[in-house]
Structure 1
Amino acid sequence: MKIVFMGTPDFSVPALEELAKVHQVAAVVTQQDRPKGRGHKMQYTPVKEKALELNIPVYQPEKVKNPEFVDILREINPDVIVVIAFGQILSKEILDLPKYGCINVHASLLPKYRGAAPIQWAVIDGEEETGVTTMYMAEGLDTGDVIDTAVIKLDEKETGGSLFDKLAIEGGKLIVETLSKLENGTATRTPQDDEKSSYAGKITKELGQIDFTKPAVTIERLIRGLNPWPSAYTTLDGKAMKVWDATVEEGNVTEKPGEIVEIAKHYIKVATGENYLKINEIQLAGKKRMPMDAFLNGYTIKENILGL
């Protein structure tokens, strides 16, 4: 198959690698280079870096639906366009262009978790399983007919980062299987049930602020879901503090939410709206990430309430 691959972040890279092993990837389309870091040096997208490594031509249109770029796609004349976390909306003109259509790999079991951040929300919401879906792209947001799915069970300590890596690899495997079915005519299409859909909105830094009036289990999921970015946070002695790892301890809470009720060697125990949260790993503003025992070796906690 002749493929045009559209993708941008790290999540898209395993699929590009897998497709390049068995198909002709005629072109890669990715977002434009952006300045990054203190020096504002222009940085390639992860997909561009991998495409250059694989000697695949790269296109970076400001808007993929511009007529000039649509003409380029027509000249390439791909059998299929594969889209994974590209970051732009495709016009109907593009959707109708390839022989086999435009196929999207989405990091959830659609119709659940349509939208920008399905991986983090699966962890935050306490899902026991999630997965990846391949689907025919339609003009709506993640609304196309489903072709294939692959299910992943979430570990007890699953983070947004660890799940991201698992689903990226699984997505690479699944898109190869899907294209094989398209080519031999065995691919099925199952319309999504819109009534079962949910929306996974963008993750913001503000979402990470810990509200200790909520149950400990809810806070612990938030901590895992926002690891590594943007991370859950609170304040300790008036200083910003990221929380990287915590566990839930059941108990009848009589203290104020956010109150430190125990300082042990490896954790501090904090009251919440329901049960207790044992904080095991933190990062105070301007300091390195460290386990609680290392932190307490060099720091004396002054205030007994977090979040003040």
Structure 2
Amino acid sequence: MRIVFMGTPDFAAASLRKLIDEKYDIAAVFTQPDKPRNRGMQMSFSPVKQLAVDNDIPVYQPTKLRDGTASEIIRSLNPDILVVVAYGRILPDDMLSIAKYGAINVHASLLPKYRGAAPIQWAVLNGDKVTGVSTMYLASEMDTGDVIYTAETEIGEFETSGELFDRLMVMGAELLHKTLTDIEAGTAPRTPQNHADASYVTMLDKSLSPIDWSKTPREIVKWVYGLQPWPVATMQLGSDTFKVYAAAYTETETDKAPGSIVSAGKNGIEIACAGGQTVLITELQAPGKKRMKAADYLLGHPIKVED
């Protein structure tokens, strides 16, 4: 099967690596334009471009998709199918029908849930027990196409978004291979999405970082792990903003107001939250310092707990 692959970040590179390993005929790769890196403004390849270059696969990096040029390039490559994984751009309608089998996508959620950006992080932030990956045919509107296959996995109670990302990246690559195999064999299913069940999620930003202590312990714990590796949850201690990397449940009950420190010692910093419950902060990072256990921080910076 002759493929034009379109993708940009690590998540996409895992799928491209799988296609290379399975000896697919990859006619070309389309990826986002190079971006300046660090203060030296050196240009940085996307993970997909680097992998393509390392394997002598032609690379295209158009700044526009709707002027017809990219579509003409794809037509000249005569692909059987377009494979799109986290490309970062919406394909114009004319591009979807160029290839014999159309265009398919790998999406990191169980569609129609979590259409849009950052589905992995929002699955953790929302406290979901299960998530997964989907393969689908691309349609005019984002993430609305017919689903081909899905694969589910449980989310660990203390699993970060970054850890889940790494697992779904591999699952997505495996599911893509199965999908392509069955499309070529003519046995791949095609199930329209129930749009009434659809939900949409957006990109994360730093405005999400401050922990809301009026939430339940589980909501706070999932917030801490869902915002890793970026933008990371934060809390205030005095006038300083600390990054929070680990939190745990407790059996403590308190009549203190949410956000009040209940205890601070060898186990960490216990803070009041919703319903007279508490949550234990066990790993943090002070401004200008390294990430460390909360107990270790307290050895040099004891906190006086008010009655």
Q: CA separation of 1:277/1:184 partners in 2, compared to 1, >3 Å: closer, same or farther?
A: same
Which of 275, 295, 298 lines up with 2:297 in the alignment? Answer: 295
What is the letter of the counterpart of residue 280 of structure 1?
A: T
* 1:167 aligned onto 2:135: no
Q: Confirm or deny: 8 A CA contact 1:63 1:88 kept in the other structure.
A: no
What is the letter of the counterpart of residue 290 of structure 1?
A: M
Quote the Cα distance in structure 1 between the aligned partners of 2:290 and 2:65. 41
Tell me the equivalent position of 2:144.
143
- Bigger drift between 98-107 and 268-277 goes to 268-277
- Bigger drift between 170-179 and 266-275 goes to 266-275
What is the letter of the counterpart of residue 231 of structure 2?
A: P
What is the letter of the counterpart of residue 3 of structure 1?
A: I
Quote the Cα distance in structure 1 between the aligned partners of 2:253 and 2:281. 18
Please show how residues 244-259 of structure 1 align to structure 2 within 5 Å: 244-259=245-260
Determine what percentage of the aligned residue pairs are the same residue.
Answer: 47
Deviation at 1:302, TM superposition (A): 6.3
Deviation at 1:61, TM superposition (A): 0.5
**5+ residue gaps, structure 2:** none
Q: Confirm or deny: 8 A CA contact 1:232 1:243 kept in the other structure.
A: yes
Tell me the equivalent position of 1:230.
231
* 1:47 aligned onto 2:48: yes
Quote the Cα distance in structure 2 between the aligned partners of 1:79 and 1:303. 67
Deviation at 1:197, TM superposition (A): 1.0
Q: Confirm or deny: 8 A CA contact 1:7 1:47 kept in the other structure.
A: yes
**5+ residue gaps, structure 1:** none
Q: CA separation of 1:140/1:244 partners in 2, compared to 1, >3 Å: closer, same or farther?
A: same
What is the letter of the counterpart of residue 222 of structure 1?
A: W
Which of 274, 285, 288 lines up with 1:286 in the alignment? Answer: 288
Deviation at 1:68, TM superposition (A): 1.6
Tell me the equivalent position of 2:177.
176
Quote the Cα distance in structure 1 between the aligned partners of 2:251 and 2:36. 47
Tell me the equivalent position of 2:7.
7
Tell me the equivalent position of 1:205.
206
Quote the Cα distance in structure 1 between the aligned partners of 2:305 and 2:52. 52
What is the letter of the counterpart of residue 282 of structure 1?
A: L
- TM-score, normalising length from structure 2? 0.96
**Counterpart secondary structure, 2:90:** coil
What is the letter of the counterpart of residue 149 of structure 2?
A: D
Deviation at 1:303, TM superposition (A): 8.2
**Counterpart secondary structure, 2:258:** coil
Deviation at 1:106, TM superposition (A): 0.2
- Bigger drift between 62-71 and 236-245 goes to 62-71
